[in-house]
Amino acid sequence: MLVVDGVLMKKNTIIELCVLPDMRVHDMMAELGGQTDNPVFLDTVGNLRFVADAQYILGYRKFVKTLLSLRSRRGFVLFIDSISFLADKSMTNLQRIYNVLWMLIYENDATVVVSNHYKVVSSTNGVGLTPRLGQRWRMMVSYRVVYTYVENEAVAKVYGDELLGTDQKLGPVHKRHEQN
């Protein structure tokens, strides 16, 4: 299964890659895809297809049809950059995508990795970052991989859902055991 920041993530989960504006998430996804024998890449942004063998999808209907076509496969890791365009348009469409993703996880032994691009927002409290997929998406994911910059290098920190054995909601998850 996938390992990020020394954390072995369980299969049959949704893993969210939280990325800051102008961060090259497609490179991170291609690197993670190299850890699995059966990756499937879907690209709605346009950059992932340059670093991986990704299907480039521009519309909601084609996106749903492509996801449903994966029902013939088993045991794959699905990388999606990104479904943010759905959150910008319709919560109903986004809910349908959630349902299809969980169907693939339960019925096809899939694991899903989705990028969640953060955007800069201004409010009366100042300028901040907000996830484009919204707070509902946060309830749907099993792991959150938060990328930040440390001295111009992207560094990952993994957080997990309390159902996966964490002490706190979205607290650090168990580290992978080292071989002796």
CATH number, residue 125: 3.40.50.300
* Inside any domain, residue 172: no
Domain count, the chain: 1
Contact 151, 159 (CB under 8 A): no
Cα–Cα distance measured from residue 100 to residue 40, given in angstroms and rounded to the nearest whole number:
15
Residue 166 has pLDDT above 60, yes or no: no
163/8: higher pLDDT: 8
Q: With a cut of 80, say whether residue 57 has pLDDT above it.
A: yes
Residue 167: predicted pLDDT: 34
The chain-wide mean pLDDT, for the chain, equals 80
Listed in sequence order, the residues at least 6 apart from 178 whose beta carbon sits closer than 8 Å to its beta carbon are none
Which pLDDT score, from 0 to 100, does residue 119 have? 77
Q: Which residues contact 121 (CB under 8 A, 6 or more apart)?
A: 127, 128, 129, 130
Give the per-residue SS3 of 30-54: HHHHCCCCCEEEEECCCCHHHCCCE
pLDDT over 60 at 180, yes or no: no
**Which pLDDT tens digit goes with each residue over 67-123?**
999 999 999 999 998 777 666 666 777 788 889 999 999 999 999 999 888 777 887
Per-residue confidence (pLDDT) for residue 87, from 0 to 100: 64
Looking at per-residue confidence, does 77 or 43 come out higher?
77
Residue 173 maps to a domain: no
> Is position 31 within any domain?
yes
Share of the chain above pLDDT 70, in %: 83
pLDDT at 149: 83
Q: Kindly give, in sequence order, each residue whose CB lies less than 8 Å from that of residue 180, ignoring residues fewer than 6 positions away.
A: none
pLDDT tens by residue, 12-33? 999 989 888 888 888 888 899 9
Scanning 59-157, the segments in alpha helix (DSSP H) are 60-69, 84-89, 91-108, 134-140
Please check whether residue 170 lies inside any domain of the structure: no
Look-up of token digits 């709605």: 44
Domain limits at 51? 3-164
Q: Which residue has the tokens 């504006």?
A: 21
Query: Six-digit token pair at 38?
Result: 């059966």
pLDDT at residue 88 in the model: 60
Cα–Cα distance between 145 and 45 in angstroms, integer? 19
Question: Minimal CA–CA distance to 163: which of 14, 29, 20, 60?
Answer: 14
